Amino acid sequence: QVITMVRRISHRLSPEMLTKFGLGDALHHTIQQLADSGAIRARFESRGELGRLSPERELAAYRIVQELLNNMIKHSGASEIVLRLSRQARELVVTLEDDGRGFSQETFNALKSTPGGLGLKNIQSRLDILQANINFTDNGPGRAGTTTRLGIPLGQDTSQQDAGEGDAALYRGPE
C-alpha cells in the first residue's frame, strides 16, 4: 500500500509521459485526456520539430501549463480550449486559447501578489526559474475568451550540439 502511494506521488511529481517522451507528447496526452473526459472540448496542435528541454525545464513548463488549464476549467466557464505548441526563433511557445470569460495581464499581475492565489504564485515562480514570459490577452468585447502565450527561452541549460538555425540545442535526453 505504501509503495503504491509513493508511486502515485512520484507520478504526480514527474509524469511518466513527460519523462519518457517530452513536453510535446505530455501536453498532447493531457489535452487528449481532457477531451476524452467530456468536461470540455480540447484540441492540441503542434508545428515542426520541438526537441527536448532539460528534464527540470520540461517539468516546470508542464506544471505551468497544467495550472493554466486548471484555471481555465475552474474559472473561465470555457467550453473549448486549444493548446498550440511551436518552436520559434530562440524560444518554445505554448499558446492556450479558450472561449470563456476573459482574463488579462493586468488581472494576473494584480492577483499573483495578493494573499491566496497559490496557483498564480506557483506560475510566477516557475516563470522566474525558466526565465520565461507569459502574456494574457482578454479577447475583448464581442469575442469571448483569453489567449495566453508562454515563451520559454531555449539554450539556457543545453549544449550547442545540433543547434540548427543558430539556436542553442534542445535537450535530447539520455543517449
Task: State pLDDT tens for residues 22-58.
Answer: 999 999 999 998 899 888 999 999 988 888 999 999 9
Q: What is the pLDDT of residues 67-123, one digit of tens each?
A: 999 889 888 889 999 999 999 889 999 999 999 988 888 888 888 878 877 888 999
User: What is the SS3 assignment for 98?
Assistant: strand
Comparing 153 with 105, the larger pLDDT belongs to: 153
> Is the model's pLDDT at 157 over the cut of 70?
no
- Using CB atoms within 10 Å of the CB of residue 37, give its burial: 0 to 12 exposed, 13 to 18 middle, 19+ buried: exposed
pLDDT averaged over every residue in the chain:
81
pTM value is 0.80
| Distance, C-alpha 78 to centroid of its chain | 18
Task: Give the least confident one: 61-65, 68-72, 144-148, 163-167.
Answer: 163-167
Which pLDDT value is given to residue 103?
Answer: 87
| Distance, C-alpha 7 to centroid of its chain | 23
> Is the model's pLDDT at 168 over the cut of 80?
no
Which pLDDT value is given to residue 74?
Answer: 86
What is the C-alpha R_g of the chain? Answer: 17
